[in-house]
Amino acid sequence: MGGFVLAEEHIILQNVHKEFQRKDHAPTIALDDVTLSIKKGEFVSLLGPSGCGKSTLLNIVAGLEKETSGSLLVNNKPIKGPGNDRIVVFQESGLFPWMSVLDNVMYGLLIKKVPKQEAKERALDWLQKVHLGKFAHALPHELSGGMKQRVAIARALVTDPEILLMDEPFAALDEQTRMVLHMELDKLWRETGKTIIFVTHNIREAVVLSDRIVLMKTRPGGIKNIFPVQAARPRTSSDSILVHLENRILTELEQEMEKVLKEELGSDYALKTDDLRVDPNNNMGSDI
């Protein structure tokens, strides 16, 4: 071979096809022929309209769903199911309501037979990193939504997985909290070098956080386009590179969503996707 070194691929999906069987109906093709490679330490977002297969793709990488055909490799090894190297953070924090914040974060370590004192120290360390050291002994219901998601992130990262899989983790949060968590996640990602796959409906969230954005399409679900994000970090959403990219992605999404709406509504189709356009006076970003 020549004198160049290939960057290390962490996750490789090759021609992944996923069908869900439905009684008395044709199967739903959730993913068709998805091929995607993700490098070690890369932050990749999956973006696209409802039903385009984002969660299915994430669940296949997590080992929670099995592809119907095609292959998935992590560190060049086929995936047979869930593993300690991959952890999922969901939209709902999923904390045990009867356990303190500290016990919630320690739980995964104790399951893995980490000695109690070490588990406590590691959990407290992670609670400091997500700025919740003072809430170690609080119960989940005493926390705000943003704080709960911080605990969920600490609980995931304390076990030191190689890959963090995030399924709309900030979708239920208000915009200000979301922006703070973007900054925190960006910092944690840069400090830890984890590989992250992040599912979102929010274009601005995707451009602010990602190295690459995988824009997905529906019917059948798959990849429509991939956008590298070449802006310096830490980022602000007003960065002109990001604003320009956000509009490019939105233009492609509009085409996709018009296609979907026409198929769904047929002759009733009247809705225009122009309403999705970014209003420069509106800080919220576009949810799709």
Binding site for ligand ATP (CB under 6 A): 20, 28, 30, 48, 50-56, 221
Report the residue number, 53 or 161, with the smaller CB distance to ligand ATP: 53
The sheet carrying 69-74 orders its strands as: 25-39, 9-22, 69-74, 77-78
Report the residue number, 29 or 243, with the smaller CB distance to ligand ATP: 29
Positive/negative CA dihedral, 140, 144, 149, 155: negative
CB of 92 to ligand ATP, least distance (A): 13
Look at residue 3 and give its three-state secondary structure.
coil
Q: Burial letters for 265-278: b for 16+ Cβ neighbours within 10 Å, e otherwise? A: eeeeeeeebeeeeb
Report the residue number, 54 or 155, with the smaller CB distance to ligand ATP: 54
Picking from 224, 230, 199, 238, the residue whose alpha carbon sits closest to that of residue 212 is: 230
Report the residue number, 51 or 145, with the smaller CB distance to ligand ATP: 51
Residue 86 tokens read as: 């991959």
* Distance separating alpha carbons of residues 18 and 62, to the nearest angstrom: 14
Report the residue number, 25 or 141, with the smaller CB distance to ligand ATP: 25
Whether cis (ω within 30° of 0) applies to the bond prior to 27 is no
Residue that the structure tokens 């219901």 belong to: 141
